[in-house]
Chain A
Amino acid sequence: MVFFAAEGITKQFGGLLACHKVDLQINEGEIVGLIGPNGAGKSTFFALVAGFYKPDAGKVFFLGEEITGMAPEEICRRGIARTFQIVRPFGSMTVLENILVGAFFRDKNKKRAAAWAEEVLAFTGLAARRDVLAGELTIADKKRLELARALATRPKLLLLDEVMAGLNPKETQEAVELVQAINQRGVTLFVVEHVMEVIMPISHRVMVLDGGNKIAEGPPEEVAKNPEVIKAYLGEKYYAAG
């Protein structure tokens, strides 16, 4: 049984073909990255997988079950959680309360959910911000909270949407470490990123989109040397890492 598979995903917005017959397979325990230049269709593909759009064609399977076009809350029920590119914290609640909302998903009992939320809080390094109102956090912490909240739903697969965007180098490094720590705890990750320096070191495999089409897939080192990929990023200052 394949852990996660997307087959032939196609989506058109008016005259724009945002995704064209994209295939993707993710194995349990992997970190799979999705990169591509601006406008490549990464966000659309992500939204299609996460259930916020229905694809025009193609299917998505998770743990042997078809989840194409399922509602977001249904997808969460099956063990897939996601973050949002533009962070959406629950502004009227504190950091801990935000995480608690996620924690309640698996267990409606307050004491147990709270205990789990505290664990997630500590694990994601937000313990110091416990009682701060989510709306008052820095961008880096908001992204961290977004991650923590999604993690609290105990997902098997976590979808991250440009979670490193807008972070400075130190914050980016911390985010990378957190992602790896999450993976080590047994969560499979699908990470969409625009910043290549971030994806390459942490991914087991990388898929590259350009203009709605998949143009490369494989281990990061191979993909980085792929001439098609370099061409797609022409004009971007990225050199294949050694």
Chain B
Amino acid sequence: MQEPGQKISLIPNVNLKTGAVLGVIFLVLAFFPAFVSSPFYLHLMILIFLYSLLGGAWNILGGYAGQVSLGHAVYFGLGAYTSTMLLLELNLSPWLGMLAGGLAAVLVSLALGYPCFRLRGHYFVIATIALGEIVFVLFVNWAWVGGAVGKYLPILPASLASFQFARKAPYYYIAFAFLGAQLLCTYLMEKSYLGYYFRAVKDDPDAARSLGINITRYKLVAMALSAFFMAVGGTFYAQYVLYIDPESVLPMMLSIQVCLIAILGGVGTLWGPVLGAAIMIPLSEFSRAYLGGGGTALDLLIYGLLIMIIAVAKPSGLMGIITRK
């Protein structure tokens, strides 16, 4: 007689074939920098990892728990600014700064989320937009963080401790590791009671309450997890680009992009955001490279079209097509 607990599996057909495919992909990615030294392609992969991380972060709150936030850039920016300011003012290691940024993002997200989660449906969505814009305007007008001009990070000798490198390969591996951590965390969440509770909150909050679920509490948990990973991505970005300003870490467009990535790939799925980023980022970068200035709109044009098509025809996104749901 099979152990009852083992019968419940969320990822359909996690069998040898899927495992093998994942294993091959992992190996390819792990050895990628050894064979490819073109900065453009390494940069591309780094962006894909970063945006997968961000899309995955959004997905925890928006995809699993069903709370659509269109102002999530706030937490990315908080992560970037926290670790950067701590580095500039207190010479604090970016790694510790990253944790501080994560903590800051979690606290702010809880403070903002608590009142806003009382709002249902579109009221909540619009509130997140409003918050995103308020924070953007605040940072633009805040002299201490550089206002509209932003902050340059000091260029330090390349080392793991200083979280700065001359070549792209180390950034590649760190981004890869961060993405792995986020995927692992999401996977564990998905399989645990949290995953089920999030989906219950998303599907039918009142029914969830009658089953003893404090929906505000679990929305906050999802929010905190989501904000944390956004912030981690923010610190990584700051250390990678070595310059941050409100336009680059707090814009509405970023909030839109992380949302699109998850929707395109498949909300509420583990690999959806990865798929979404894997399609969106190359599209974005290649159109930027080949079409110049006008290109930055072409990729969004296609995304907008794709999102509409997905909403109408296949709300479960690419993952839905793959798993045939």
A residues near B (Cβ < 8 Å) are 50, 52, 71-73, 76-77, 81-82, 84, 88-93, 96-97, 100-102, 104-105, 108, 110-115, 118, 149-150, 153
**Partner among A50, A84, A110 whose Cβ is within 8 Å of the Cβ of B207:** A84
Which stretch, B3-11, B21-29, B105-113, B151-159, touches the partner chain A? B3-11
Q: Does A102 lie within 8 Å of B8, measured CB to CB?
A: no
Q: Which 5 A-B pairs have the closest CB atoms?
A: A76-B212, A111-B5, A88-B207, A72-B209, A90-B203
Instruction: Determine which residue in A82, A97, A104 has the highest number of CB atoms from chain B within 10 A of its CB, and name it.
Output: A104
B5 touches A110 (CB 8 A): yes
Main secondary structure of the interface of A (DSSP, over half): helix
Nearest CB of chain A from residue B262's CB, rounded to whole Å: 16
Residue of A nearest to B202 (CB): A92
Residues of B within 8 A of A (CB): 3-5, 7-8, 191-193, 196-197, 199-200, 202-204, 206-215, 268
- Of the candidates A89, A91, A108, A115, which one forms a contact with B193 in the assembled complex, judged by CB atoms under 8 Å apart? A108
Chain B's interface: helix, strand, loop or mixed, by majority? Answer: helix
Q: With A and B bound together, what is the CA distance between A105 and B8 in angstroms?
A: 17
Q: Can you name the residue of chain A whose Cβ is closest to the Cβ of B209?
A: A72
Q: How far is the CA of A50 from the CA of B210 in the complex (A)?
A: 8
Residue of A nearest to B5 (CB): A111
Say yes or no: A150 contacts B211, CB within 8 Å.
Answer: yes
Known: A104-B196, A115-B4. A91 touches B211 (CB 8 A): no
Q: Assess whether B8 is in contact with A100, with CB atoms less than 8 Å apart.
A: yes
B210 touching A90, Cβ below 8 Å:
no
Q: Which of B193, B211, B214 has the most CB of A within 10 A?
A: B211
Q: Which residues of A contact B208 (CB under 8 A)?
A: 101
Which of B200, B202, B210 lies in contact with A84, CB distance below 8 A?
A: B210
Contacts of B202 in A (CB 8 A): 92
Q: Which of B192, B196, B204 contacts A97 (CB 8 A)?
A: B196
A-B CB contact pairs (8 Å), 29 listed: A72-B209, A73-B209, A73-B213, A76-B212, A81-B210, A81-B211, A82-B210, A84-B207, A89-B204, A91-B203, A92-B199, A92-B202, A92-B203, A100-B196, A101-B208, A101-B211, A104-B196, A104-B197, A105-B213, A110-B8, A110-B191, A110-B192, A110-B193, A113-B193, A114-B4, A115-B4, A118-B4, A150-B211, A153-B211
